[in-house]
């Protein structure tokens, strides 16, 4: 692995750790941070990511992309697919994706992704890609505000966290190499085959507004497509969430 990997027993957040290192100017492209637990794990939309000791993967990777912001539209979808591929390879059954980048099994969340864009220097965009995968959560875990599950509930034998990290890094590197050259297009069929809401009734929550429609997958910019009153509409943006009806 080309980068430095910072391994921490307990940390506030692996994303925050890399952000601090980035601000200090000591990060190289591909550097990563892994922790056994987080005291201030962060989820999307300002939520907390519950992070008990040694029962999950808490990992962040720093990647720099050239070509400006438009090059990385769709990045989060590709990261979601990389996580799904790693789980598939370990025998986790029926892994599905929920736009933009939640990973579900049986409509219960098994992994989440938090990508933080740290601004551009000229054409270069800095990103911190944070991945949390529930592997074997304690029976008495509390504070998770949505339906959740973990890998070992869906495999024949307990999985190895070391192996999972190796597979996550493998698929991230392979997929990002392709994504940088070809964008989202080579991934779209596979994304659709794992889309939890493909051809299903959904509602989009965007601020105060609710839009109901039929999920039609994604387009090549990473927008979610919905059939609304017979018309295909594309929706972009970080503050949208999707629910089944
Ligand atoms: C979400 O689904 O809301 C995103 C969850 C992302 C959690 C991971 S765990 C490793 C990294 N560090 C954090 O503080 N968050 C991400």
Q: Which domains does the chain have, with CATH numbers?
A: 5-194 (3.30.930.10), 201-244 (2.30.30.100)
For the cut 90, the answer to whether the pLDDT of residue 145 exceeds it is: no
CA gap 13, 128 in Å, rounded: 12
DSSP 203: E
pTM for this entry: 0.95
Residue 243 CA: distances (Å) to CA of 79, 97, 211: 21, 12, 10
- Please give the average per-residue pLDDT across 31-60, as a whole number: 95
pLDDT value at residue 68 = 79
pLDDT, tens only, 75-132: 999 999 999 999 999 999 999 999 998 999 999 999 999 999 987 778 899 999 999 9
CA gap 44, 199 in Å, rounded: 25
- Phi, psi (5° rounding) for residue 86? -65, -45
For the cut 90, the answer to whether the pLDDT of residue 41 exceeds it is: yes
> Is 64 tagged catalytic?
no
pLDDT, tens only, 176-194: 999 999 999 999 999 999 9
Cβ of 113 less than 6 Å from ligand 1: yes
Cβ of 56 less than 6 Å from ligand 1: no
Nearest CA to ligand 1 atom 11: 130
Give me Rg for the CA atoms of the chain. 17
Cβ of 197 less than 6 Å from ligand 1: no
pLDDT value at residue 235 = 94
For the cut 90, the answer to whether the pLDDT of residue 164 exceeds it is: yes
pLDDT value at residue 119 = 78
* Catalytic site residue from 21, 44, 161, 194: 44
Give me the residue label for tokens 């370990």.
90
Cβ of 61 less than 6 Å from ligand 1: no
Write out the two tokens for 100: 């933009």
Q: Are 244 and 197 in contact (CB under 8 A)?
A: yes
Q: Look at the alpha carbons of 154, 160, 163, 164 in this order and tell me if their dihedral is positive or negative.
A: positive
pLDDT, tens only, 210-244: 999 999 999 999 999 999 999 999 998 767 788 88
pLDDT value at residue 238 = 66
Residue 75 CA: distances (Å) to CA of 57, 63, 116, 211: 20, 11, 11, 24
Ligand 1 centroid, distance to 232 Cα (angstroms): 32
> Is 63 tagged catalytic?
no
pLDDT value at residue 1 = 65
Q: Spell out where the chain has E strands.
A: 5-11, 32-38, 56-66, 95-98, 102-105, 108-121, 124-134, 201-206, 209-218, 224-228, 231-235, 240-244
Cβ of 52 less than 6 Å from ligand 1: no
- Long-range contacts made by residues 213-219, C-beta under 8 angstroms, separation at least 24? 215/242, 217/188, 217/191, 217/192, 218/74, 218/77, 218/99, 218/184, 218/188, 218/191, 218/192
Cβ of 100 less than 6 Å from ligand 1: no
- Please give the average per-residue pLDDT across 138-156, as a whole number: 91
Nearest CA to ligand 1 atom 3: 43
Ligand 1 centroid, distance to 24 Cα (angstroms): 22
């Amino acid at each position: 692995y080309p980068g430095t990997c910072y391994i921490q027993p307990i940390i506030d957040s692996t994303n925050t750790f890399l952000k601090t290192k980035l601000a200090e100017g000591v990060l190289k492209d591909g550097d990563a941070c892994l922790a056994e637990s987080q005291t201030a794990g962060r989820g999307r939309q300002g939520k907390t990511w519950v992070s008990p000791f040694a029962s999950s993967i808490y990992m962040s990777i720093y990647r720099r992309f050239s070509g400006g912001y438009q090059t990385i539209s769709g990045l989060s979808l590709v990261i979601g697919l990389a996580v799904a591929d790693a789980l598939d390879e370990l025998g986790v059954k029926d892994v599905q994706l929920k736009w933009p980048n939640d990973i579900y099994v049986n409509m219960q969340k098994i992994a989440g992704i938090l990508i933080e864009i740290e601004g551009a220097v000229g054409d270069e965009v800095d990103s911190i890609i944070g991945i949390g995968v529930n592997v074997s959560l304690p029976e008495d875990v509390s504070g998770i505000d949505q339906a959740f599950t973990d890998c070992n509930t869906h495999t024949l034998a307990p999985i190895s966290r070391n192996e999972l990290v190796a597979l996550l890094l493998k698929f991230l590197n392979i997929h990002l190499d392709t994504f940088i050259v070809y964008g989202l297009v080579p991934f779209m069929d596979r994304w659709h085959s794992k889309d939890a809401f493909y051809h299903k009734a959904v509602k989009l929550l965007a601020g105060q507004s609710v839009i109901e429609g039929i999920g039609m997958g994604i387009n090549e910019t990473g927008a979610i497509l919905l059939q609304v009153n017979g018309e295909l509409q594309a929706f972009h943006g970080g503050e949208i969430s999707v629910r089944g009806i």
